[in-house]
Structure 1
Amino acid sequence: MMVLQVLWFILVAVLWSGYLILEGYGLGTGMLLRILGKTDEERGQMVRAIGPHWDGNEVWLLTAGGATFASSPEWYAVMFSGMYIALFLILLALIGRIAAIEWRNKLKSEAWRSRWDTIQMVAGWLVPILLGVAFANLVQGMKIVVVDPKDPFTEVGTGNIDLSVHVHNLVGLGDMPFAQLLSLLTPFGILGGLVIASLALTQGALFLSLKTTDAVHDRAVAFAPKAALASTLLTAVFAVWGTFAFKGEGFIFALIFLVIAAVCLIVALLFAFQKSSGKAFIFNSAGVAFAVAWVFAMIYPYVMKSSVDPAYSLTIWDSAASPATQIVMTIAAVILVPVVLGYTIWSVYMFRARIAPAPAGGLEPGNVRAGANFLVG
């Protein structure tokens, strides 16, 4: 069943690529709300551009998390416990972002809409930065050791590892509040956060170039080359640093993916300068996909690398679910992944029209009954 284990490792990478490409433009739009949207009406135009797509795009995140849990339960356990605070902040930001999109036009109040726009902008920046930090820590490794569950803060020693008895655990995080989160904020981790944020910013600018009209469209077209230049340079520095500082068994594949990602991002940059937003969006999306492929090639054959000792690293085989589980999941994936992909393509086609500015709607604040909510009516 080694083939299935590698297949699911690749599929998790594909799902993360899909999420960062699709939700990248949604998060990027949120990041740009106060940059490209100069008026309340323009910001409403930008929010309506992503309105039909955000919930479908979130399916890719849920599927990536679910696939990790079901195919590699120990990977899920070590990663989600080691990055708990960062992932919890991502969850809070995503909840705030969803509320900002859905509730923005519930009241006819510019102050109300402005507050939600601010929440969406903060979430738009926070989510990709924290995801980038997490990906960077996968590449550089974390303070993982193998311990006895009865004594989770003492490593057992590389010569005594028995994975039927011992478990992988993160140590050395300290007792300070948020020490776990701060331990992820290494220079390489911070650069990784800036890389994912810049790629999302570029996706958002190119998406708005394709989906909006009037002033927002013109500003997006002018902003896209600047964002693309920044994301290309940051990605180049990050990938070259990571490839040679943390190289492992997947080095050759990582080098190939690095070159392809670089070519895609440079081509996207050239198209952005030529104001060919559609082609730039396609090549920038391909660059994001190969950047994710680079991350997974860099960590292969591990799913969690230990910076303490390679012997403590968690491999694809160590973390895998039972063969029966992976067979059932493979059958489900063959059926359902095309459905998700088909729905995504259909929704993009159905909502392909450009969005023009329009006055905001909503209830007059004075017409909202005191104490009323969706539970009590």
Structure 2
Amino acid sequence: MQLHDIWFVIIAFLWTGYFFLEGFDFGIGVLTKLLARNRSEKRVLINTIGPVWDGNEVWLLSAGGATFAAFPEWYATLFSGFYLPLLVILVCLIVRGVAFEYRAKRPEERWQRNWEHAIFWTSLLPAVLWGVAFGNIVHGVKIDAHKEYVGGVLDLLNPYAILGGLVTLALFTFHGAVFASLKTVGDIRERARRMAGVLGLVTAVLAVAFLGWTQADKGDAGSLAAMIVAVVALVAALGANRLGREGWAFAFSGITIAAAVAMLFLTLFPNVMPSTLNESWGLTVTNASSSPYTLKIMTWCAAIAAPIVMLYQGWTYWVFRKRIGTQHIAEAH
């Protein structure tokens, strides 16, 4: 295995970590309207991710930075072709961070309600758009002989990509509901479990359709194995949730996300961005990668820095591992 192949695997790992962690993060944001019945319960849900949401986004920065350095042609074509949806995602992430920090700065109901609306929409939109983006990456887009995207925004809204967006929205919201049941106590915990059961069934229907379509279109034995793992893990998550084993349910929902992302990258390899105009015009790990020397330096840097970052983030989750409920919310909020 050459260095550009290794960096393809590393980038797949970074996106898996991002979707695993930011997935329940987005799910909690969506659930602030679907699950919470009053302002105290919204505060409980927000507090479950309060200490970790910004750390989760480090994985996105790492994935983007690694793509820029390891596969500059991929980065250039992706960010120029997907400029508008990626810009919307970026704006949502910025507004979302501001909403978390500013919501409680003033006591007026209108002020807090507006920021709560912002949290909901800036969680829902990226959850959909990431699925649309990866659906197009796997399916292929209009890339010409100069390795440039020549399609329009409407070309990205094809049935396969839209189904991918619905899958990520449902899966992330299910993941968030399981996380909410794991991190809360009292009535909100029980309602989160019940909602997770419903969301899991919706996710199963959408995911089987999307992954089955992917396998039929571009799959092989490896992607089929990943698909089976994803489906089995989702069923196991639903079973654990029904039995009240929130920890196992969360672990299995995370495995579902990891296996689904692995399947997409397995069907993509050795391409990084296929062309629907001419197969030979697509970007691959070979023609889109940086020089071997650049990849070598990156490998040494990643080997030193990545374990430190992961240990620190793991320690953060350990420190803030306890459950919370409405009784922990001060009257002033």
Q: Same fold (TM over 0.5)?
A: yes
1:369 aligned partner: none
Does the 8 Å CA contact 2:81/2:151 hold for their aligned counterparts? no
Alpha-carbon distance in 1 for matches of 2:331, 2:278 = 57
Indicate whether 1:238 and 2:207 are aligned. Answer: no
Alpha-carbon distance in 2 for matches of 1:311, 1:39 = 56
Does the 8 Å CA contact 2:181/2:193 hold for their aligned counterparts? yes
Quote how far apart the aligned CAs of 1:234 are.
1.1
Indicate whether 1:325 and 2:294 are aligned. Answer: yes
Indicate whether 1:171 and 2:171 are aligned. Answer: no
Does the 8 Å CA contact 1:40/1:110 hold for their aligned counterparts? no
Does the 8 Å CA contact 1:44/1:360 hold for their aligned counterparts? no
Q: TM-score, normalised by structure 2?
A: 0.97
Alpha-carbon distance in 2 for matches of 1:137, 1:131 = 10
2:277 aligned partner: 308
Q: Deviations over 1:224-245 (max 9, x none)?
A: 1111111122111101111112
Match of 2:165 among 193, 201, 205: 193
Q: Deviations over 1:22-47 (max 9, x none)?
A: 11111100000011111111101111
Quote how far apart the aligned CAs of 1:360 are.
6.1
Quote how far apart the aligned CAs of 1:356 are.
2.0
Does the 8 Å CA contact 2:28/2:177 hold for their aligned counterparts? yes
Match of 1:226 among 166, 175, 198: 198
Alpha-carbon distance in 2 for matches of 1:105, 1:244 = 49
Alpha-carbon distance in 2 for matches of 1:77, 1:225 = 41
**Bigger shift: residues 266-275 or 61-70:** 266-275
Indicate whether 1:254 and 2:223 are aligned. Answer: yes
AA in 1 matched with 2:296: I
Aligned length: 331
* SS at structure 1 position matched to 2:95: helix
Indicate whether 1:36 and 2:35 are aligned. Answer: yes
2:304 aligned partner: 335
Quote how far apart the aligned CAs of 1:246 are.
3.3
Q: Deviations over 1:84-142 (max 9, x none)?
A: 10000000111111011111111112221111111010011100100000111111110
Indicate whether 1:274 and 2:246 are aligned. Answer: no
Alpha-carbon distance in 2 for matches of 1:335, 1:81 = 32
AA in 2 matched with 1:6: D
Does the 8 Å CA contact 1:144/1:313 hold for their aligned counterparts? yes
Which one has a larger percent helix, Structure 1 or Structure 2?
Answer: 2
Quote how far apart the aligned CAs of 1:349 are.
0.6
Alpha-carbon distance in 2 for matches of 1:194, 1:360 = 38
Q: Deviations over 1:241-291 (max 9, x none)?
A: 1111234xxx22111111111111111111122221110110110110111
* SS at structure 2 position matched to 1:326: helix
Quote how far apart the aligned CAs of 1:210 are.
1.0
AA in 1 matched with 2:126: V
1:13 aligned partner: 12
AA in 2 matched with 1:311: S
Alpha-carbon distance in 2 for matches of 1:266, 1:213 = 24
Does the 8 Å CA contact 1:228/1:272 hold for their aligned counterparts? no
Gaps (5+ residues) in structure 1?
A: 148-167, 174-179, 363-377
* SS at structure 2 position matched to 1:169: coil
Quote how far apart the aligned CAs of 1:359 are.
3.3
Q: Deviations over 1:167-201 (max 9, x none)?
A: x011142xxxxxx2x22111111000011111110
Does the 8 Å CA contact 1:107/1:361 hold for their aligned counterparts? no
AA in 1 matched with 2:166: L
Quote how far apart the aligned CAs of 1:214 are.
2.1
Which segments of structure 1 move beyond 6 Å, counting only runs of 4 or more? Answer: none
Does the 8 Å CA contact 2:141/2:151 hold for their aligned counterparts? no
Alpha-carbon distance in 2 for matches of 1:292, 1:340 = 22
Gaps (5+ residues) in structure 2?
A: none
Alpha-carbon distance in 1 for matches of 2:288, 2:278 = 18
Structure 2 CA distance for partners of 1:214 and 1:41, relative to 1, 3 Å: same
Does the 8 Å CA contact 2:70/2:290 hold for their aligned counterparts? yes
Alpha-carbon distance in 2 for matches of 1:69, 1:226 = 39
2:330 aligned partner: 359
Alpha-carbon distance in 1 for matches of 2:115, 2:45 = 13
1:66 aligned partner: 65
Does the 8 Å CA contact 1:136/1:188 hold for their aligned counterparts? yes
Quote how far apart the aligned CAs of 1:308 are.
1.2
* SS at structure 1 position matched to 2:100: helix
Does the 8 Å CA contact 1:12/1:64 hold for their aligned counterparts? yes
Quote how far apart the aligned CAs of 1:353 are.
1.1
Q: Deviations over 1:137-174 (max 9, x none)?
A: 11111011113xxxxxxxxxxxxxxxxxxxx011142x
* SS at structure 1 position matched to 2:286: helix
For residues 114-125 of structure 1, the aligned pairs below 5 Å read 114-125=113-124
Q: Which has the larger radius of gyration?
A: 1
